[in-house]
Structure 1
């Protein structure tokens, strides 16, 4: 290979190398693409500016959400949380406007925007309003139990940029997440039948 070819290849590589993202890029809301956020997501890390909610996050063993589009154009978010070793399930309606989605709870609402994220991950910046209390939170979810180091570093940089405390919840990838309530339970008879 001649020197000019090597120089050309090296100059192309230096131009195409990914530049580190600055805070302005990292906290810029993305256009809401409902198809991309639909499906199952495992809660990987989360932080909040509210001390009481941070205490609640520390009780989470594992969490999972499923964003489901229905045939009539409405959506629901199904939550499965294991907190202090106990499974908790809930289903909430979702609405969409501009680049955000809104979830209505019995005692408040949550409005979330999507921030830049690594592959197979979802970063949500949420404002939760409950009985006169406003809480800001930042979460990262993954399609699998573990994310790439670069995706986690990007999220942690977003935490810094938005001046949140270090994450109160970090999923270790080892604990099981609550089983799906919609699946029938396996009975002893079923287990015996499998052995025959």
Structure 2
């Protein structure tokens, strides 16, 4: 599953101190001091969400994800472009976040509010977000990095943050699958722009599928059988 929504900021001196073990310190919220520090490329390392079915869908449909953060025309805006590889196919979607009240806010296509949390990883971002899907509000914690891989210690710290928030087990992506090229700078990029598809996407229906274990199981079985028939999985 894509989405999620998605997020960014932490390259601050306070975020580069030694690892800590207590939840109060692990979940310390970081101030947003400007968008310049977070612009550029960020690789999606792992995430945890209490949205039912999200882990299963991510494991089934997502090979790798990275974000391209660029400055929007308005001073308080950041363009989030998510570039994703699924079954070897690249796609991208762009949304516009606004910085206010020391957080990042998205109103369309779904409502998202994200804040940045402390991390001892010197080139990582840890984002905690609340997002509305259907009639419910869910929570998500994401780990992003300038690198394609982070250390075992950095992953362990992220796992502790997830535990402090009482979120489900972390889903880590495998960077060995490779990242899609930048669709905005690569002349031969075959990435599919799905941004316009958001206008007609039924997020309420997606919520119903994800919150039904039987529906998720049926969907994953269907995709697996199709991939087996195409020889893409063994």
Pair in the same fold by TM > 0.5: yes
The CA RMSD over aligned residues, in Å, is 2.0
Unpaired segments of 5 or more residues in structure 1? 1-16, 187-196
The answer for the alignment partner of 1:32 in structure 2 is: 32
Once residues 150 and 103 of structure 1 are traced to their aligned partners in structure 2, the CA distance between those partners, rounded to angstroms, is 32
Richer in strand (by share): 1
Q: TM-score, normalised to structure 2's length?
A: 0.66
Aligned length: 168
The alignment status of 1:51 with 2:52, answered yes or no, reads yes
The answer for the alignment partner of 1:68 in structure 2 is: 70
Q: Which has the larger radius of gyration?
A: 1
The answer for the alignment partner of 2:42 in structure 1 is: 41
Once residues 100 and 115 of structure 2 are traced to their aligned partners in structure 1, the CA distance between those partners, rounded to angstroms, is 10
Once residues 84 and 128 of structure 1 are traced to their aligned partners in structure 2, the CA distance between those partners, rounded to angstroms, is 27
The answer for the alignment partner of 2:153 in structure 1 is: 150
The answer for the alignment partner of 1:11 in structure 2 is: none
Unpaired segments of 5 or more residues in structure 2? 1-16, 190-234
CA shift, 1:151, in A, is: 1.9
Once residues 128 and 83 of structure 1 are traced to their aligned partners in structure 2, the CA distance between those partners, rounded to angstroms, is 23
Change (3 A) 1:57 1:158: same
The answer for the alignment partner of 2:127 in structure 1 is: 124
CA shift, 1:163, in A, is: 0.9
Matches within 5 A, 1:1-196: 18=18, 20-33=20-33, 34-58=35-59, 59-73=61-75, 74-106=77-109, 108-117=110-119, 118-167=121-170, 169-182=171-184, 183-185=186-188
CA shift, 1:51, in A, is: 1.3
Once residues 97 and 20 of structure 2 are traced to their aligned partners in structure 1, the CA distance between those partners, rounded to angstroms, is 34
CA shift, 1:67, in A, is: 1.4
Q: TM-score, normalised to structure 1's length?
A: 0.78
Once residues 22 and 90 of structure 1 are traced to their aligned partners in structure 2, the CA distance between those partners, rounded to angstroms, is 37
8 Å CA contact 2:63, 2:173 repeated in 1: yes
8 Å CA contact 1:127, 1:134 repeated in 2: yes
8 Å CA contact 1:43, 1:171 repeated in 2: yes
Change (3 A) 1:122 1:18: closer
